[in-house]
Structures are given as structure tokens and as C-alpha cells.
Structure 1
Amino acid sequence: MTINEIAKLAGVSASTVSKIMNNKDSSISAETREHVLQIAKEYHYKPYASVNTAGTVKTLCIGAVFRNTVELGMSAGGILEAARSEGYSVLFYESVLSPEQELKNITSLINMNVDGIIWEPISRDSMEEAAVYLKRAEIPYLLTNIDADQALNLDYQKMGYLATEALVNANHTDIACLLREGTRTNGFYQGYRQCLFEHNIPVNDNLIFHEEDDFPVSKMANHLFSGIVVSHYTSAVRLYQLADSLHYNIPYDLSLVSLKDGDRLNLEYPPLSTLTIPHFEFSRYLVQTLIHTLEKKKEVPSPELPLNLDNTFSIDIPYNTRLKKILSLGSINIDNYMNFKELPHTGKTVTAPASVIHPGGKCINEAIGAAKLGHNVCAIGCVGDDADADLLYEYAKGCQVDTIGIKRSKGQKTGQAYIFVQEDGDSMITIMSGANNSITPQDIINNERLFTNASFCMMQTEIPMEAVIKAAELAKKHGLTTVLKPSACTFLPTKLLKLIDILVPNLDELNEICPGSDNMEEKTSFLLSKGIQTVIVTLGSKGCYIRSREFSCSLPAIDVISVDSSGAGDAFISTLVSYLLYDYDLISAAKIATYAAGLSTTRQGTTTALVDRYTLEPYIRRMEAHLLK
């Protein structure tokens, strides 16, 4: 630091500084004298300091300037060990993220004639300003932890890659990334993207989260991603605690991998899979590289940086592959709702004040119902080549339903359902089949691969019967349990009945497929004689009747105020299948299904009224806690 530079900082002339430093300041005010002396002390000014002696005599001392105590603390151990082994002492300085303090640190080390400096600049601007003094003093320096061509930095891109690859190796494809602002953030993110790209996994920008914008709770709850990589350990701990408070289990519900800043965070709880940043080894490498320059050694040091996953505590297979799939086959429609004080009938005209449109159809309704209850569901059906089809695809995917089995039929219009709802919740439905009529047995055969890793096949008869029969045949071939809703049909072929495990008609549908004056018990007995294993007749506000070869019983409905009953049957079936897949017995699963069906009638719509597991189970615990495992 020269006399002219001190004068500039103090806002006085060079002659004023000279007089004060040489005790010839009788004409200078006490205030100015005190101000100049304070600046000189802060920047370690020495008279004639502009005559550089650095490099002429070795001091065997190096300096280390870091942004803050956090960065300094992670690097100090490695720097001290490497310097000591080479016979050097170290002077440590902290810039406290202040460019002014950083410049003071640099000038202090210059005046102490250190042989070289390891320097973590605050910014490129502060680096360029302070570097002028180092170059003038001819003191070698090594930059780190900054985006500059000559800097030596930890490879955070490689760490982001390895953290992501740990999840890819566990068969995750829906991988999120949680970032926190910092020097490692960009490199970590680039490594995440590179790993996905090299493993042919599309990057989904909707799965990139920033801690400053809060945590992705809703997307975690809907299983929009099965794994997440986190740039900072403290962020990972917060995410773990949040998931735990919401009763999600890591890694059962979500796999997680995070970077960790060394052994200072070597905690047993929470049990997180981490990749430790090798600060100690890297700081040793920095010292070795600096001393190589100072002593003009021939052998160039190479970094030996351990970059391995510390453990697999919070890594498991993806949630949606843990459970076998449920298939849902049937009609796919756009539901057009109209509310009436009284339903229309012959000779009477009624008006509807408004209409509402929702994606629906029994295939989609039951698929979404099972997905909301935590299962991996794939829908099979046909839509048209119109805008309604686009809406249905997008809606189903947003509800975590696999749409690979939904075919777009050229020249066809997507099915339409017109649902009339009365004030007391009673409803009537008219369907324009559209593309639903175009599904063929060959379409089912083309989707046979979907049956190979499934447990249940939910079928509805609002599509051609030949396609339903083919689906039932493939389901039996692959060992699936078949569940049939006989809607909008008057006859079930004997060939189909032999392939059905559970038939779920409402009372009107039962009377349609079994005409005559026989009572419900006799009609269900007839269906059992044709090969069906179990018949469950849904009875609306009266609950349901269950009949199998071994027993029969009735279950009451729950007491609710009904607003719209149009989706109750779909809620019942999707819940019945979901809890059978959770290893509940038939009676328990049916009882839980009556709760789901009842709750669905308290809201308008079908898919919008279906309850998720985190709504259904707390309600049941208040009413009949013994039902749940």
C-alpha cells in the first residue's frame, strides 16, 4: 500500500499523509490526523512500503484469506497439515464478506512478506481490485472457490452428477433437485442435468426447487418425484424433518441424497445418504500446489479427492414400483354437470343455472381414485383426436395415472357424459360414447405388457364387450384379480362371468343383468353359480350387500349430507381394490370403501370428489379406528 493509495482512501493529499507519518503535522487538525492514522493502521501501511522486498528473502510463511469463518473452518485443518509437513507456517484471515476487509487482509499479508497466499475472493470485482497489490508486490497467489479461469475449485458438478447417479442406479427416473443459493449451486445443478441427460432421462423444470421459494410439499405428497438430490445438508435435514412431520417415510416414500460439509456434520440422525465434500483433502492440495510454485518443484501435485457415497440410508427403490400396478379399463369421457332443483322427466321442462365440465368416465374416475390412495395405476381406453383428449391426457398425468394405455382414435370425438344432479344428491347420467366404442380386442392385446406387473384389473362395460372379455382373459392369464362394474349394459356373457372375481353392480344394474322377479339374494346366488367369486351390490344410502360362496352380509352407509352421488360407485370400487391390495380382508376393505363412497357424495363432481388416503384414514380413525391396520 503506497502513500498515494492511503491518501486516496483517506480523502487527503499525499503530502498530508507524509507529514502525519513523519511527525510534521503541527499544521494539521487533530481530526484529520486521527482519520489518516486509522486508515494507515487498517491497511498496515509502512513508510517506504512501496519499495517491495517480497520474494528476496523467504519467510517460510504463507497466508490464507477466506470469505467467512464457515469456509475457513472447513479448510483450516487441511491447510495447516499440508503447510506443517512442508515446513511452512500459516497466517489465516477472514474477510467477513466485506470487500474493504478483504483488501485490508491482502495488504496486511503483503506487509508481512508472506511467500504466497491462498485466496478465496468475495467476488470478481473485489478480486480484481486486490490482485493489483499482489502483482505489484510480486507475491504468488492461488485463487479458489470462485468462477475464474485461473482458480482451483472443488468439482461440484461431479458431485451433483454422482448424487443423481446414486438415485438413477436405484431405478429412479422422476428425480427432483433442491438448491440453495451458494458457490456450489450452479455446479451441482449442472451435474444433476448432465447425469439425467447421459441416462436418457428428460429434465423436468417443474422438479427444480429453490429453498428460498419454500419446500415442494404438495409435489412430494402427490409423488410427482420419487427421489431428490439436495445441494446443502442443512436443507436436506429440513426436508427430512418436514416429511417426517407429515408422516412420510424416507426412503419408503422418497429417496434423498445430499452433499455434506465434512465430519463436522457427522450425525446419526437423521439417517441421510450423503456425499461428503472433501474440503480437508482439497485444502491440502491447494497448499501443495502453492508450495510447488514457490519452490519451483518439478513434480506437479495431483488431487486425491475421495468422492464416494457415504451410505445408502435414505435410498430405496421408487415408491411407485414398490406396489404392483392396478389397471383400469373402460370409458373415458368429459363429464358435463348440470344441477337442478328437480330432475327432468317426461312432460316437464327444467332449467339449469350453470354447467361444469370435468374429465371423467369410469376408467379415469376409478384410476384416479386408486392413485389418490397411493397406488401405481395405468388406464386403458380410447379418446378422440380433439382438444378434449388433450385435456384428459394432461389431467390424468397430473393425478399420477399412467396414460400409456390410452389410445387416441383418429376421426373420433372423445366420449361425453351428461350428468344431471338433483338438490338432494340424486343423479342421472346420459353418455355419448364417441371414441369409447372404438376400442377393440386387438387394442387390449397390444397393451398386454401392462398386465405383466399388475395385481388388479378394474373393468367397466361402457366399452365394447369383446374388449372387456379380452381384458378379462389377459388378466386371468397373468394372475390378476378382476373387478367388473356392469354399467350401461343389460347382459353379461357367461364367458365373461367365468373370468370375473368380484362383480360390483348397483341395484338397478343387478336387476338389468338378472331380470325377473327374484330378490337380491337369489340374483346374486345366480351370478355366483355362473363362476363369479364375489358379488357386492352397492345400495346408495343403504350401504352395500356382499355375497360370496362362503358368506353374505350387509354393511351400512355412513351418515353424511349428500350433494352429488354420481361418483360414489367409482369411489367405492377404487377404494375396495386399493385396500385389498394393501392386504385388508374383503369385509374390512368394503367397510373402508363405504366411507370413501359416502365422503365422495359430500362434494360436487366425480374425480374432484374422490378422497385421498390422508383424508380418508384420519376420518375413519375418528369413527372406527379398529378398521385400519
Structure 2
Amino acid sequence: MQRKKLVVVGSCNTDMVIKADRLPIPGETVLGGTFFMNPGGKGANQAVAASRMGGNVTFISKTGNDVFGKQSVVLYNSENINTDYIFSDPNNPSGVALITVDSRGENCIVVASGANASLCPADIEKAGSEIESSDLVLMQLEIPLDTVEYVAELASRKNIKVILNPAPARALSDQLLKNIYIIIPNKSEAEILSGIKVTDYDSARQAADIISAKGCDIVVITLGSQGALIKDHDEYHFVDAVKVEAVDTTAAGDVFCGTVCVGLSEGRTILESVQLAARASAITVTRMGAQSSIPTRAELLTFDQNQ
């Protein structure tokens, strides 16, 4: 099967993770945690997820000229990701995320963006030919919004399908949304985009209607353990979540997005791609960490056989 080319434009971080019984409240110190470091960043997580699922992936990002940045590029090369367009910033450090995870798998995250915040349209121009030769472009919002808008405009002009995971949550212009083929928000992100508080299938459908009216062809709202709602033009689908024992939800949404793109690149429908992604993200939440928790396609096949 000829794999279509997927370009991921986004962030690259090093995650510093503490696993504790519970998350601290403001001003509180919680003792007894365990610590480890992981490569992360939403862009990098989605690129690694897509590659492990069998995608043909180029990653466009920016790191600092430091040990974290250099280690990241070595890692992505080992994941069969094209790193020709990972730029090095001489003035800013690589991005870092501080993550606390509780005993139920819930997390809270603080990110120091570093070099991610300096990935600019001028960098994208250097990667223009790579984007223009792609079939799908996947982005998130851990890089400057004007860079996201520039990529979406460039890709849309060339009739390249743009998939946006609007995380971290923020308001977006109607012009950007008109250049998006598929948008994949979670409940809180969908609420910011639509003004509808998303709690269940019906409210997710209302939110999807409002978001799609702004220009997106397809809206996929992820509802965590409740599953996912798809609005594909005038059709609605609901995909149940796969029931597993969650250990750490970090990167589950990123695996979902990366896997949806691989499904589409293989010629699957959006419904089939979301069903594939739901199973991949279910595996992810049974493991600790970001990229360390991302399954391979072979692991997904084994998982399917055991269901």
C-alpha cells in the first residue's frame, strides 16, 4: 500500500513527570512521588504516534541548541520520522513540560515553550516544498498562532487537507477554521470554540454544529471515557471508548490525532479512522508517560485480537 505523506507541524518538549497519589492544591507540597523524564510536546507526540502506526511522517518543529533538542532529533530519526525541517534556535532553550499524574491517571501540566514559541512563518517558508508535496498536514496550538494560520493558508491553497487539534484551548478566527478540513477538540476546547458546555452526546452535537458552521468540513469531539462524536458534513456518528484501566492519560489525545491521520492516509473513512484511533488511545492510557506510552501498529493488532 502506498502511504500518503503526512506533515506534522508542532511542538517538541522534554516532559519531567512526577507520579503521586494525588494532585497538589495551590500552596501544597505532596511527598512520595516518583520521577522520570520523557520526550514529549503535542507535535512530537502526534508525529511519533503517526509513525508508529505506520504513517509516512515529516516533522516540522524548533528546538534549542541544547542537549534536550539534540536528543530529540536523534529520537525522531530512530522513529523513522523525517527530521530535515527541525530547526535549531540559538537564543532559546528547548521546550520543557512539568507534569504531575495522580493515582487515577489524571494529570496537570505546565509548559515552558522555549524554542517552540519562535517557530515562525519564515521557518515554514524553508519547508514550503515539503508541505506542498504532502497529502495531509496535522497541527496543534503549542506553536505561535500566526504560524498555524500561515501553514493552514499555504496548505489550503494547494488543496492539502489540514487537520487541527486545537490544544491548548483558545479562541480561533473564522478565517483559520475555513482552512481546516478536520478539527479534533476535546470537551473543553469544543466549549471555547462553540460556547456550548459539552457534557454528553447531545451537547457535543450542538457544539459540533456551531463549529462546523464556521467552515470546518468535519468535526470530531473527543469525550474521554464517553467516546467521540463525529460530524462529517451532514452526518453524525458516535464511537464508544474502549474500556480499559487508565494509569496515565498523558498523550492519549495526541495518539488519537496521529492515528486518525494515518487512517485517513490509508484511505479509511473518518468513522473508520476514529474507531482505529479510539483503540490506539485506549492502549496509551494503560501506560505511564507520553511517547513511552504510544503503541506501535503491531501492538494495536495484538490488542484487537485480544478484545
What is the CA RMSD across the aligned residues, in angstroms? Answer: 1.6
Q: How does 1:247-396 map to 2 (within 5 A)?
A: 322-396=2-76
Q: Which amino acid aligns with 1:581?
A: S
SS of residue paired to 1:341: coil
Q: CA deviation at 1:516?
A: 5.3
Correspondence 1:513 to 2:197: no
Shift >6 Å, 4+ stretches? none
Alignment partner for residue 453 of structure 1, among 133, 149, 153?
Answer: 133
- Per-residue CA distance 1:476-501 (angstroms, 9 max, x = gap): 23332111011124211111100001
Answering whether residue 299 of structure 2 is matched by residue 619 of structure 1, we say: no
Q: Where does residue 539 of structure 1 map in the other structure?
A: 223
The Cα shift of 1:521 comes to 2.3
Report the equivalent of 1:587. 271
Residue 561 of structure 1: which of 241, 245, 270 is its match? 245
Matched, 1:501 2:181: yes
- Deviations 1:520-554 (Å, cap 9, x if unpaired)? 32221111111001111111111111123221122
Structure 2 equivalent of residue 291 of structure 1: none
- What letter matches 1:481 in structure 2? K
Q: Select which of 255, 264, 272 maps to 1:571.
A: 255
Residue 171 (structure 2) pairs with residue 491 (structure 1):
yes
Take 2:33 and 2:250, find their aligned partners in 1: how far apart are those partners?
A: 19
Match of 1:444 in 2: 124
Go from structure 1 to structure 2 and tell me whether the alpha carbon gap of 1:517 and 1:576 turns closer, same or farther (over 3 Å shift).
Answer: closer
AA of the residue aligned to 1:520: A
Matched, 1:525 2:209: yes
Q: Distance in 2 between matches of 1:355 and 1:407?
A: 29
**SS at structure 2 position matched to 1:335:** strand
Larger RCO (alpha carbons 8 Å, 6+ apart):
2
- Could you tell me which amino acid in structure 2 is paired with residue 446 of structure 1? K
- Which protein shows a greater Rg? 1
**Which residue does 1:168 correspond to in 2?**
none
TM-score (norm 2): 0.94
The structural deviation recorded for 1:517 is 5.4
Indicate if the aligned counterparts of 2:20 and 2:34 stay in contact, CA closer than 8 A. Answer: no
Partner residue in 2 for 1:411: 91
Deviation of 1:622 (Å): 4.0
Counterpart Cα distance in 2 of 1:485 and 1:401: 20
Task: Determine if contact 2:169/2:188 at 8 Å carries over to the other structure.
Answer: no
- Greater share of strand residues, 1 or 2? 2
Name the CA distance, whole Å, in 2 between partners of 1:494 and 1:458. Answer: 18
Shift of the alpha carbon at 1:452? 3.0
Residues 187, 223 of structure 2: 8 Å contact kept: yes
Q: Is contact 1:373-1:612 (8 Å) kept?
A: yes
Asked if residue 433 in structure 1 is aligned to residue 141 in structure 2, the reply is no
**1:222-243, Cα deviation, whole Å (9 max, x unpaired):** xxxxxxxxxxxxxxxxxxxxxx
Task: Mark the CA change 1:452 to 1:338 in structure 2 (over 3 Å): closer, same or farther.
Answer: same
Secondary structure of 1:374's aligned partner: coil
**AA at the equivalent of 1:522:** Q
Which of residues 144, 150, 156 in structure 2 aligns to 1:470? 150
Task: Render the CA deviation track for 1:545-586: whole Å, top value 9, x for unaligned.
Answer: 112322112211111111110110011111111111111111
Q: SS at the partner of 2:267?
A: coil
SS in 1 for 2:283: helix
| Mapped contact 1:451–1:478 kept (Cα < 8 A) | no
Unaligned 5+ segments in structure 1 are 1-251, 253-321, 624-629
Measure the CA separation in 2 of the matches of 1:563 and 1:337: 13
For 2:32 and 2:213, the matched residues in 1 are separated by: 45
The SS at the match of 2:84 is strand
1-structure distance, mates of 2:160, 2:276: 22
Tell which deviates more after alignment, 556-565 or 515-524. 515-524
Cα distance, 1:615 vs structure 2: 1.1
| Whole-angstrom distance in 1 between the partners of 2:207 and 2:149 | 22
1:458 positional shift: 0.6
Q: 1:410 is aligned with what amino acid?
A: P
Residues 321-357 of structure 1 show CA distances to partners (whole Å, capped at 9, x for unaligned) of x423211111111111111101112353313532111
Look up the SS of the partner of 2:135 in the other structure: strand
SS of aligned partner of 1:535: strand
Deviates more, 1:513-522 or 1:322-331: 513-522
Which of 78, 91, 104 is the aligned partner of 1:424?
A: 104
The amino acid across from 2:123 in the alignment is D
Note the alpha carbon deviations across 1:568-617, whole angstroms, 9 max, x for none.
00111111111111111111111111000010011111111111111102
Give the secondary structure class of the aligned counterpart of 2:45.
helix
